[in-house]
Amino acid sequence: MSDERRTIDDYTDKVARHLIGAERDRARAELGDHLSEAAEAGELTEALDRLGPPAEAAAAFAESRTAQPARIDLRFVAVLIDNLPLVAISIALFVQGVLRTIETGAGFTMSFPPATYFRIGEGCVAFTPLNCGAYDASGLIYSLGFPLALAWSVIGLGLLEARTGTTPGKRLMKLRVVTETGLRIHPLTGIVRRISLLLGPFAWVDWVPAVWGDRRRILDRLTTTKVVPADR
């Protein structure tokens, strides 16, 4: 393989990493043809200089850069589907709380998402003002089921969004996540977009700005991302 061919393949690969689906395939094909023609004319270096860094070149192929954020009702349905394990755990904790109330007469606290807290000796560390005894921390539902469901909702879905631009719920609702310039998001960005779930019921504060204006959550704005229709 010639040095020029290697340079072309390396550049197109770097550009493609910033894109998803059809945009990625189109960028590979069009850039490969364009740079090959430039190489034949002895102008490969000039062509690469005009295109600029791979991320800038990728933005030219990202149709989603001009897309408006998706409808909020579609996003809510997608969130419900994506977080079904967390919904199931919340229902199980509710049933557990009701049964405990019937048995002992003590009340209980219920929220969705469930409040997150950790016991450390005689004390605890909580992410919300809710009482650390809101749930039976010794039971498997909260001590094992809840962390696993939360890990799926925050880490699993975040990494999936970064890799494919979508999640099971978003795929069904024909949505995808991109940066403000229409590019694929970074894995860390995918996780950060979802950390509000650690705040229990206060996670809903993150959604308040999404009901008007440009329909973006607080964390959408902080991570410079947006959820857009996928069928563009």
Check residue 141 and give its pLDDT.
86
* Residue of higher predicted confidence among 157 and 112: 157
User: What does the block give as tokens for 93?
Assistant: 């904790």
Residue 95 confidence (pLDDT) above 70? yes
pLDDT in tens, 159-183: 999 999 999 999 999 999 999 999 9
The 10s digit of each residue's pLDDT in 124-145 is: 777 776 666 667 666 788 888 9
Contact 114, 135 (CB under 8 A): yes
Asked whether the beta carbons of 189 and 182 are under 8 A apart, the reply is: no
1 pLDDT band, cuts 50/70/90, is low
Using only C-alpha atoms, the chain has a radius of gyration, in whole angstroms, of: 23
- pLDDT class of 33 with cuts at 50, 70, 90: very high
Cα–Cα dist 202/156, whole Å: 21
Mean pLDDT of 97-112: 75
Q: pTM for this one?
A: 0.85
* Per-residue model confidence (pLDDT) at position 14: 93
The neighbouring-strand residues paired with 80 are: none
Question: What's the average model confidence in pLDDT over 22-39?
Answer: 90
> Can you read off the two tokens belonging to residue 194?
């979802």
Q: Which residue has the tokens 């978003």?
A: 170
Q: Which of 169, 147, 150, 148 is nearest to 160 (CA)?
A: 169
Copy the structure tokens of residue 219.
């964390």
Greatest alpha-carbon pair distance for the chain in Å reads: 84
